[in-house]
Structure 1
């Protein structure tokens, strides 16, 4: 049933893309709101103030200090294979812990991270050096001057024992996949029908912080601020309707971002990111990526591989993802969409170079999962490198954000103007 629904969404979106350049036969559907499912923590909410690892390569313990009411705290621990991970699901928690804490592994844990994963739900994900068993998991009550503590004990096992645990979890319906993004009913009553929908996708979020600069700026925060301003300016034109895949600090799966764009019958999808390099050697500037089965260069291949791990980072069961759908109609649509994506990339480069610094190789391509909708022209706009002090200074500047978002809006205008030229019968109500 899910496969049939997916194909139906693809075909509906394909029709809507062409429909954005033709007179509508009836009222256009009102777009859904952001897929961002989170709500802000309540006053007096449970917080995590510290986390640390102890132990060695045979037995390792994760300890999380908790402040607030823990008497009714329910949590669930499970394991995931390929890559090996241990996931801890909790109610919504405010993590007052530096993300740097989790980058230094110990014993059986190579790294760990934490954050929001869905409405009212937080998650801790531990990357493992090999297969483990969860020996014990328990809560210690606060005592004297010591906070309450969540304790997870891991012991080393062989792969066959690990996989038996994974199979037992699935048999008990203990899947690791978070609930799909919940699409709210409507955006705003005054939304005009017939306007092309531009989905703006701030990358990462929640448990997936993305890249981090040497001075601590996080990609998920920088791209969200940029995306909000961009959506505001797109909507201010009155010629398009922009919707965000997330409006707060929450995680959305890669497939959830694509499904959100299809559900909104998007005419354009712009994913916003900011990469980092371990050895930058002065590399900086914005880059626009489009989808390709074969990466345009080694750096693009590396970046795509890194970005495609977002779901694994968040503790998603990757075995639950559906396979690709092979269909002649979809293949034809994909080819046409690729052409439109490349056209938008070119006009975006033209507009962006007047407002911001571009990478010396500004248009690249690779197999980014978030760009794989076969029916929606899509690009990934990498604003710059967080490993470059010059780029970080720009990306956190209001003046630069204003100029850069103006450039993207101008590119959106140029893209749809080009579409109108190719379709002389376009209705003024259906496109700018």
Structure 2
């Protein structure tokens, strides 16, 4: 019986259909191995809105860098932003509810999927604005950030803003009456008018006439007892003292965070507001806050604000943090031209100077030479005056809290580099120390701290009254 023949595949001759099918399948398999799958869309992790008098900031935090285009539309004013590589999600939709009715620049925001992988944001504006759109690389606890800073076309004048709020006295007043009426004034009272005894007017005239005739007066002219003529006092007008208070951090930059969650930016703002109220109780004194809410102000702008109001003193308020929770005590710092007074001071200055990286300053529009120019212009006289007020404040703070260092320290803090303003930085306590964090949260301690700083400032101005200034342009 013949054996059945085995079935064998047809030979894969060139051009055969079977061979072409196998080659296509193999090529497809190879491409699937070598070609990566399409990348997933960028995910928006958080959205935040920070309204401020000077500008409004909108931040989108995401897991990778975003590419955007934007343009302005007039009548009514709108800002349109298209974000590539993005799919609309609930987090991004929540941006709509983040805009508050009292936002100075944004009326509302609309969010939608404009086309595949492109999300469009439309900001309906209350007035025309100048937008700055930039990205920030991951830093501290943040991932990638896309930032929209919406500035008014005409920058806010800090003095005009304070006048509108009734926080600015427009006319300097003579201090003599106020100082004598209220000994709490930081300025010394005008010295009392000097008096001198003069001869009787008729006797003096007779003496002069006799001298003209060559005949001496019959009797020497004697002063008339009890007759005094007051010499007019010098027209000395003590001008208003302007103090700039600078609560550190704010907005995107929380500063140091204590073990129980206290944030430096909140603590120092509360202390600054208490200090402002106490200083304004002193005659001839007006106070400006570089920020009066929870928003970020770049370091250079803090200095610029103080110079715009021609401040006589700049006081930056912070709360220390250290790698060890046992570090404690209050400190006062001033600028150093020759390096930090200690390694700890150098570390702290470097840490505080990173605020622009964390808070988010647009490097493309920042004046990159500002820091070096201001540093070069900082004079020995400015630092000497800063040391004087620093010592006065440190002595008063030492009465309510342990001092970390018994002397004023020096380091290259960026916010202390105004060339013409005595400037100090007060580290109120270590927020990283649980005991001191509890004190910083306490209203009573904040009040004592504000009292101590006020007394130190009052003593400094009593010994060093400010000179007259011409208005800067």
Q: TM range, normalised to the smaller chain?
A: 0.5 to 0.7
- From 335, 350, 357, give the equivalent of 2:380: 335
Give the aligned partner of residue 139 of structure 1: 88
1:187 corresponds in structure 2 to: 162
Q: Are the structure 2 counterparts of residues 120 and 330 from structure 1 closer, same or farther at C-alpha, using a change threshold of 3 Å?
A: closer
Q: For residues 26-41 of structure 1, what are the structure 2 equivalents within 5 Å? A: none
Of 329, 332, 343, 1:285 maps to 329
CA pair 399-121 structure 1, distance change in 2 beyond 3 A = same
Pick which of 226-235 and 334-343 moved more.
334-343
For normalisation by structure 2, the TM-score amounts to 0.55
CA contact (8 A) 1:140 1:150 kept: no
* CA RMSD between the two structures: 3.4
Structure number with bigger Rg: 2
Unaligned residue ranges in structure 1 (runs of 5+): 1-57, 66-89, 94-114, 152-171, 428-432
8 Å contact kept, 1:210–1:220: yes
Distance 1:369 1:60, change over 3 A: farther
Aligned match of 2:35? none
C-alpha contact 1:125 1:315 (8 A) present in aligned 2 = no
8 Å Cα contact 1:348-1:411 kept in structure 2: yes
For the residue of structure 1 that corresponds to 2:322, the secondary structure is coil
Where does residue 240 of structure 1 map in the other structure? 285
Contact 2:378–2:417 (8 Å) recurs in 1: no
8 A Cα contact 2:254 2:263, kept in partner? yes
- TM value normalised by structure 1: 0.60
1:210 corresponds to 2:286? no
Q: Distance in 1 between matches of 2:51 and 2:305?
A: 19
The aligned residue for residue 388 of structure 1 is 433
Residue 44 of structure 2 corresponds to 63
- 2:85 aligns to what SS in structure 1? strand
| 3-state SS of 1:274 partner | strand
Per-residue deviation at 1:174? 4.9
Per-residue deviation at 1:325? Answer: 8.4
CA distance in 2, matches of 1:334, 1:360: 25
Aligned equivalent of 2:347: 302
1:165 is matched with which residue?
none
Residue 348 (structure 1) aligned to one of 378, 386, 393: 393
Cα–Cα, structure 1 residues 305 and 125, in superposed 2: closer, same or farther, change >3 Å?
A: farther
Report SS of the residue matched to 2:418: coil
Report the secondary structure of 2:156's partner residue.
coil
CA distance in 1, matches of 2:88, 2:40: 19
Query: Which of these residues, 345, 361, 365, is aligned with residue 410 of structure 2?
Result: 365
**In 2, Cα distance between equivalents of 1:126 and 1:313:** 15
Structure 2 unaligned regions, length at least 5: 1-38, 68-83, 98-110, 114-130, 136-147, 173-238, 469-473
Q: 1:332 to 1:258 in 2, by over 3 A?
A: closer
Work out the CA distance in 1 between the residues paired with 2:463 and 2:261. Answer: 41
**In the TM superposition, what is the alpha-carbon distance from 1:309 to its structure 2 partner?**
1.2
Native 8 Å contact 2:44 2:61 kept in 1: no
Among 237, 242, 246, the residue aligned to 1:197: 242
Task: Determine the C-alpha separation between the residues in 2 that align with 1:283 and 1:325.
Answer: 30
Aligned residues: 291
Please give the secondary structure, in 1, of the residue aligned with 2:438.
helix
User: What's the offset of the Cα at 1:347?
Assistant: 0.9
Cα offset, 1:361, TM superposition: 4.9
Q: Please state if 1:410 is matched with 2:410.
A: no
Partner Cα distance (1:205, 1:375) in 2: 26
Q: What is the rounded CA distance, in whole Å, between the counterparts of 1:133 and 1:218 in structure 2?
A: 29
Contact kept? 2:387, 2:408, Cα under 8 Å: no
Q: Which residue of 2 aligns with 1:101?
A: none
Displacement of 1:187 in angstroms is: 2.3
Distance 1:125 1:368 in 2: 29
Contact 1:274 1:383 in 2 (8 A): yes
